[in-house]
Amino acid sequence: MKKSSAPGKIILFGEHAVVYGRPALAVPVTQIHVDVEITDSARKGIWIHAPAINLHAELNTLPSDHAVASVFNNLFFLLRVSPFPNLEVNINSTIPVASGLGSGAAVTVALLRALSSFLLRPMSDDEINAFAYDIEKIHHGTPSGIDNTVITYAKPVYFIKNQLIETFTVSVPFTIVIGNTGMPAPTKESVGDVRTLWEADKAKWEGVFDEVGELVKEARRNVESGKWMEIGGLMNQNHDLLKEMTVSSAELDILVSAARKAGVLGAKLSGGGRGGNMIALVESESAESVSEALIRAGAKSTIITTIK
Ligand code: MEV
């Protein structure tokens, strides 16, 4: 039997602009995770059980571009596995699906880890990350690679597309409340829409992305030097720039303003946007009351997490 797990993630700063080469900050969220367990099976085939997405099926009955099937098919091709083994594969996830918290990338990473070691061909983190990025590209159009990176290494990352991975140090831990709108976050769509805007007026959008990039650099300096209270205002500014990119939504804006009224240091949407989650920076003693304010404002669920 082989077991593996991978955490969820939030993007603290820089989503969307990161697709255009600007830096972004992302951190793992370990309270939510995907757990994969693989055992030999007495019956023929590869039987996949993923209750979170109501999937109970044999691999061959799934379309080849199915998010889970493509991990198996691409890995078996890479490792030249033939014939396929008979397996029972359990995928349990506590990461809300399609909500900008990295559920897809976490399934891919956890599956790759468990499968490659089950096949006695364990992959390094760098190999897992590169492979997971290829899988992300099949499903998400033109992803930057930030989701698979923060989830594979399970460390805070300062991410610039196609550059060496830089993890960063959080010198003084800080608290984030995550509020879930309960609306799906169609990342591929929002990334595609930002691309359409950019194609129509590259000079304007390059300028907006530059502004985001500067915020991210300042945020990193503050986080590294323990001045995390300074990053609240930067989060608010980043949210405004994301609104300009048209990737916020009525539900996200309602939660962001409810958080601000509840006295947070700053709040913004996190991830692809349009739905999914927002994040609020809070002083730890007010985390519970902010979480309650978000629920009253319509959040379907909240998570309080410490970034360290
Ligand atoms: C999604 O978590 C972050 C985006 O910037 C897309 C990407 O970087 O691939 C919206």
CA separation for the pair 224, 220 (Å, rounded): 6
pTM for the predicted model, two decimal places: 0.95
What's the pLDDT band for 98 if we cut at 50, 70, 90? confident
Confidence (pLDDT) at 263: 94
| 2-159: CATH topology | Ribosomal Protein S5; domain 2 (3.30.230)
Residue 101 per-residue DSSP state:
S
In contact, 157 and 146? CB cutoff 8 Å: yes
Confidence (pLDDT) at 126: 96
Predicted confidence (pLDDT) per residue in 228-287, tens digit: 999 999 999 999 999 999 999 999 999 999 999 999 999 999 999 999 999 999 999 999
147 counts as catalytic: yes
Pocket of ligand 1 (CB under 6 A): 11, 15-16, 18-19, 100, 143-144, 146-147, 187, 191, 271-272
Task: Mention every residue, 6+ apart, whose C-beta is less than 8 A from residue 3.
Answer: 35, 36, 37, 38, 114
What is the domain class of 170-307 according to CATH? alpha beta
Mean of pLDDT values over 67-90: 95
Q: Is 7 helix (H, G, I), strand (E, B) or coil?
A: strand
Query: What is the 237 CA–ligand 1 centroid distance (Å)?
Result: 18
The domain ranges of the chain are 2-159, 170-307
Confidence (pLDDT) at 139: 84
The angle at the Cα of 199, spanning 235 to 19, to the nearest 5 degrees, equals 40
Provide Rg for the chain, Cα atoms.
Answer: 19
- Mean pLDDT over each residue of the chain, to the nearest integer: 96
What's the pLDDT band for 186 if we cut at 50, 70, 90? confident
Query: What is the 272 CA–ligand 1 centroid distance (Å)?
Result: 5
Residue 85 per-residue DSSP state:
P
Query: What is the 151 CA–ligand 1 centroid distance (Å)?
Result: 13
Cα–Cα nearest to 106, from 26, 165, 24, 18:
26
Catalytic residue among 65, 126, 147, 210: 147
